[in-house]
Chain A
Amino acid sequence: MIGMVLRRLAVLPIVLLAIYTLTLALAWAAPGNPVDRPEGRRPPQAVIDAMERQYNLDSFPRFYVSYLESASGVRWVRDRLAGPVDPQRPIFDLGPSLQYEDRRVNEILADSLPVSMTLGASAILIATLIGVGAGVIGALRPGSFADGASLALAMVGISLPSFVTGAVLILIFGVWLGWLPVGGWGTIGQLVLPAVTLSLPFAAYIARLTRMGMIEQLSSDHVRAARAKGLPEHTVVLRHALGNALLPVVSYLGPATAYAMTGSFVVERVFRVPGLGEHFVNSVLNKDLFLLIGAALTFSVMLVLFNLAVDVLYRWIDPRITGDRA
């Protein structure tokens, strides 16, 4: 197990290097000059040239190497060996934001990542509760009204975009009933609506996974044996069937959590949640190279780490599993 964890962590830098190279190449090729502003008074050309030189935007190879050095911590180590460095300087320096002149990418990520992670974790939590509940109900009576209703709900959850479900929830719970705040961040109340909105597509998927797993488990030999022993139905369902039926759900939770934590752009906008999602979109539109690469790398790290965490959990939940699932 420890060997697997170490192996996977060793691969991480290679994955990141590949993602960095690809992202930078694509972003570099996109039209538009990152230091030029699209409207308003233009700074003199000499100023633009100086800024391009400062950020190495005038040369792809120099940018490539220079960013790699500072983001990987190589530059920090080198400077540290040469003499004392500013204690506030981060080891892994992801560079300045070209759009938000006062901000470093490290600060932007440090501000917005915890917000997105909280929102994403809450959404997955809600999705799991709704999804597993609906899936079990559906599986116990396949073809019943409850099964149909949970299927319909799942379809709605998957097909409706979150700017629609979000707006409907705001209208019902925020404006008509006045139970919950319509946006913002910082209180439990402000977390509820965005988390529910974000959870719906995940809940729908989890419900289908649970239902499938449960139907399979309920017709399996060990459940039949448990029933034959005369165990009460709830013990059969909860102890013997559900545990195994949930394994696919657990393996889905890894990537789902990573997606929920980083892919909540629309929900964050609708509910004014100051998270990471917006930077993914805006950094591309603004051609804010440093922020764009920083966000892409963060997402990659999260995806790899959550998959790893799920694999570790997976083995712990079901010790029969061995081998390396990449």
Chain B
Amino acid sequence: MPRVLAPIVLLIVAVVASVWSDRPLPMADLVIVERAEVNTVDPHQMSWNQDLRVGRALFEGLLSEDTASPDQRLVPAVAREMPEVSPDGLVYTFRLRPGLKWSDGSPLTARDFVYAWRRGMLPETAADYSNMFMPIRGAEAFVARRAAALAAFVADSSLADRSARAEELWREAIDDFSARVGVRAIDDLTLRVELESPLPHFLSLVAFPVMFPLCEASVSRHESLDARTGRRVWSNAWARPGVLVSNGPYRLTLWRFKRDMRLERNENYRDPRLPLSPTLSILNIADANSMVLAFRTGAVDWTTDVAVPYRAEMLDLQRQFWNEQAALVGELRAQGLSNARIAAALPRDPRNTVQAYPSFGTSFLNLNCSPLLPNGRPNPLADARVRRALALSLNKREITEQIRRIGEPVAGSLVPPGSLAGYTPPVGLAFDPDRARQELAEAGFPGGAGFPPIEFLFRRDGGQDLLAQAIARQWERQLGVRVLLLQVESRVFGERLKAAKYMVSTASWFGDYGDATTFLDISLSNSNNNDRKYQNPRYDELLSRAARLADPAERAASLAEAEQLLVETDLPLIPLFHFVQVYLFDPSRFEGLSEHPRQIHTLARLRRKEPAP
């Protein structure tokens, strides 16, 4: 008899041992919940919002975005002051603050920037944002030469000693970089950068994490050469908690996969008096219900995203509360306060814990502009009149008010208005069904007669099915065309867009840096994000003319003209609405989120407020 109990005893021992070995940590001073796991803390691999936020907490570049200022200023960070720029706009000289240290106490010098930028440019690093380095003099040619050398190395099977040859190629690449690429450490505290041509938003790139420094002494310990491909490879061991050496306000002390990440104050940060929350815990909760529950029952200070099924209902409750407080809200608004400040000034209420913030992103429809469809038939959307008809017949307000229901502004342009200082996007096409029918008739399809069915491609997730159905119904009603809805899994979706195997598809774009080109360059005819296969030499010319103009106002005008071509004349894409990001936090207990129009939040500014007496 007792023998039969053995499996149970074994199980008990296993459970107790496991629970005992995994002790919980004390509560952090601030708890943030992210729906998506932080993918990487390597600044060169970052592309998601949650990664970039952590990147800005762990590292700091020459300059940083002043998220507290309303005019989107850049301020010196590692640099002592704003750089000295040569009169022709080509040479930038950055002077570093003296005495800066990495989190391990070693000195931070201009050479750490050279090392990091070289790593970011190398084709083997495959940085998502390697393009940001391309304005630097010689960068493009350096990357091309290194890529060609590696390709030749792989193809050459006759090599006797591959390791020696790989080593030789690597030394050549380093020499090539020092000789021809315009990044140089003049001394420990001076970095000189030369550009290919003047680029007014170059400093905005410098403030982006991909251009942050890396501690050469620490990171280079984890690099080696791959004898098969000749590539320089970095083992990920340098980016582990306890190993990662950083220069930002925080250092990484714990990172448990799919669970949590813990940041603690970096004692060697340049500004030791910065009043940041000393420990920061970032939890990863993927499930929509668990996320809301964790906020309601647990000690979560800020939830960075609310799942689609909850957004509309929660925001309805918030509006209801604001309506009850109409008198106070009106009074505060009259004082010129922003929504965020009004929310913080209202009495505490559970309905007031959901907040919608404008976001630097736009939802739109891709229209395939290629002359032929993948099945070889002529593409009716190749005619700009047809594309304009599709745009003019859409009642976008109905979509934002009845389908999305979270107060997203209707979009006429790709660049969200007000998101960039000094740039005013065009207004775009308004809802005009009569003109839409007329354009369609002029294209040879009066009343939709003879128009082949439109295949509308969209993804499985994110509530896109409702959006697609609403749009299809509007087109069918207004234009008399037939729409076939085609829902696919997201990998398949991406693949079909890239190969232009679709007619119409849902799409979205989020800007990266503070310049209109972050939205506009995806429609250049040679862009590999030009899923619409849009080709207009005039558009390409307006963008390249803007790149040559040094005067910010003239440059903005040229870009606005290009965008006007995009959203008022050619319509390779139909802007639908500008996204908002829905946050959960209690404004009476948490503060420090920025109202930056591009949603750059500095984790070091976030704080739990003392409860009101």
Contact = CB atoms under 8 A, between A and B. Distances in A.
B528 A44 contact: yes
A233 interface: no
Contacts of A59: none
A274 B498 contact: no
A119 B364 CA distance: 44
Contacts of A47: 123, 126, 130
Interface in B1-28: 1, 3-4, 6-8, 11-12, 14-15, 18-19, 22-25
A202 to B, nearest CB: 12
Interface in A272-317: 272, 274, 278, 285-287, 310, 313, 316-317
B258 A274 contact: yes
B494 A101 contact: no
B290 interface: yes
A30 B258 CA distance: 25
A271 B290 contact: yes
Contacts, number: 193
A53 B126 contact: no
B287 A272 contact: yes
Contact of A187 (B7, B24, B129, B131): B24
B491 A125 contact: no
Nearest to A187: B24
A257 B489 CA distance: 32
B512 interface: yes
A142 interface: no
User: Which of A36, A103, A167, A271 has most chain B Cβ within 10 Å?
Assistant: A103
Interface string B283-294: 111110110011
A241 B569 CA distance: 85
Interface in B480-523: 489-495, 498, 508, 510, 512, 522
Nearest to B18: A118
B154 interface: yes
A101 B42 contact: yes
Contact of A274 (B45, B231, B256): B256
Interface stretch (B33-41, B340-348, B446-454): B33-41
A15 to B, nearest CB: 23
Interface residues on chain A, size class: 35 or more
Nearest to B44: A101
A185 B259 contact: yes
Given A38-B493, A42-B529, A50 B287 contact: no
A101 B1 CA distance: 52
A223 interface: no
A168 interface: no
A3 interface: no
Contact of B257 (A31, A112, A182): A112
A236 to B, nearest CB: 12
Contacts of B491: 30-33, 38, 285-287
Contacts of A167: 289
Interface residues on chain B, size class: 35 or more
A269 B290 contact: yes
B256 A111 contact: yes
Contacts of A188: 19
Interface in A3-42: 30-33, 36-42
Contact of B294 (A40, A104, A272): A272
Contacts of A181: 297-298
B177 to A, nearest CB: 18
B236 interface: yes
A41 B4 contact: no
User: Which of A37, A183, A246 has most chain B Cβ within 10 Å?
Assistant: A183
B237 interface: yes
Given A102-B42, A183-B294, A274-B258, A125 B495 contact: no
Interface in A241-259: 242-243, 246, 250, 253, 257
B23 A246 contact: no
A124 B498 CA distance: 47
A272 B42 contact: no
Interface in A134-178: 167, 170, 174-175, 178
Nearest to B12: A125
B273 to A, nearest CB: 32
B126 A51 contact: yes
A75 B256 CA distance: 29
A43 B495 contact: no
A217 to B, nearest CB: 13
A95 B256 CA distance: 19
Contacts of B494: 32, 36-39
Contact of B237 (A88, A112, A174): A88
A220 to B, nearest CB: 16
Contacts of B127: 43
B124 interface: yes
Given A125-B8, A186-B23, A50 B126 contact: yes
A46 B123 contact: yes
Contacts of A125: 8, 11-12, 15
A41 B19 contact: no
Contacts of B11: 121-122, 124-125, 128, 257
Given A43-B128, A51-B126, A124-B11, A107 B231 contact: no
A185 B24 CA distance: 8
B147 interface: yes
B508 A122 contact: no
A204 interface: no
Per CB-CB distance, the 4 closest pairs between chain A and chain B, nearest first, are A32-B491, A38-B494, A274-B259, A186-B24
25 contacts: A31-B491, A31-B495, A32-B491, A37-B128, A40-B510, A41-B512, A43-B126, A43-B128, A45-B528, A46-B123, A46-B147, A54-B229, A101-B236, A102-B45, A102-B236, A112-B257, A117-B14, A125-B11, A125-B12, A167-B289, A170-B293, A175-B297, A269-B286, A270-B287, A317-B3
Given A100-B40, A186-B22, A239-B1, 17 more contacts: A32-B492, A38-B493, A40-B128, A40-B510, A46-B123, A99-B39, A102-B41, A102-B239, A128-B8, A129-B8, A174-B293, A182-B290, A182-B294, A269-B290, A274-B259, A286-B491, A287-B491
